Amino acid sequence: MKRLLIALTLITLVFTVYASSSLVKKSKSGICHDKNSSYFNRTTNFKSFNTLSSCLDSGGRLPKKHSTTNKSYSTKKYSRSQFGSGWADLDKDCQNSRMEALISQSVAQIRYKSSKKCKVVSGKWISTFTGNTIYKASEIDIDHVVPLSWAWKHGANSWSKNMRVKFANDPANLLSVEASLNRQKGDKGLNNWLPPKNKCQYISRFIRVYKTYTLSLTSSELLHYPNIKRLYCGN
């Protein structure tokens, strides 16, 4: 009997250690702490997850300066496929996120390719970049205000795939603009590119999006972004 109790105690101890090592804690503030986080042991009020991926997929985020040995979050080179294969139709209504951005941002009636209303052909869009009016959907690019490649270099490389797909299709990060200017912008941040017009509106949106997703700025950006906002927005 004594030996059985000892054996059960050892099994319980091993299980406890294993569970602790694989546990991921999502704090009340939405931060996912695994065993690599310096706050893991200090986080006592949390929702538990079995993997870091499942915690991030629930809407959680990594703590700053997070170190992980999980290969899913290694610093691979950026590719568009890391954010999904093109525009996603997340609500399965046949209109992907490009079409939904065109529909929501048109200031006049939309014309569709067919009665199914899956593809937009024309409407009326006022470009945030220039103030110009565009009528043909084919002449519009949907700009990621915070570019995907920029986001990758500033923390999105540590997100789960589902989180990156969500970011790439988030309406808050999408603008209907001239294709030429969108391609001129590329993956530049605020200190390297601003639109010809509505600079304050663009700057404010860029800052709001990167803060929403808790992306991290470089030391140079931390120094210059407040000055850029102050210059064009006056505060």
Per-residue model confidence as pLDDT tens digits over 22-79:
578 888 777 888 777 778 888 888 888 766 655 665 556 777 655 444 434 444 789 9
Q: Which residues pair with 4 in a beta bridge?
A: none
Question: For the chain, what is the total number of helices (H) and then of strands (E)?
Answer: 8, 8
Q: For the chain, how far is it from start to end, CA to CA, in angstroms?
A: 75
Is residue 16's pLDDT more than 50? no
pLDDT given at position 11: 43
pLDDT given at position 21: 44
Residue type, 195: P
pLDDT in tens, 65-123: 554 444 344 447 899 999 999 999 999 999 999 999 999 999 999 999 999 999 999 99
pLDDT given at position 227: 96
pLDDT given at position 235: 72
Quickly tell me which residue has 């690599």 as its tokens: 36
pLDDT in tens, 131-166: 999 999 999 999 999 999 999 999 999 999 999 999
pLDDT in tens, 164-211: 999 999 999 999 999 999 999 999 999 999 999 999 999 999 999 999
The CA distance from 126 to 131, in Å, is: 6
Query: Which residues, 6 or more positions from 133, have their beta carbon under 8 angstroms from its beta carbon?
Result: 124, 125, 126, 127
pLDDT given at position 41: 84
pLDDT given at position 63: 75
Strands 46-49, 32-33: pairing kind: unpaired
pLDDT given at position 26: 81
Can you list the alpha helix ranges (DSSP code H) found in 63-217? 97-105, 148-153, 161-168, 179-185, 199-212
122 with 137: CB under 8 angstroms?
yes
Sign of CA dihedral 121, 127, 130, 131: positive
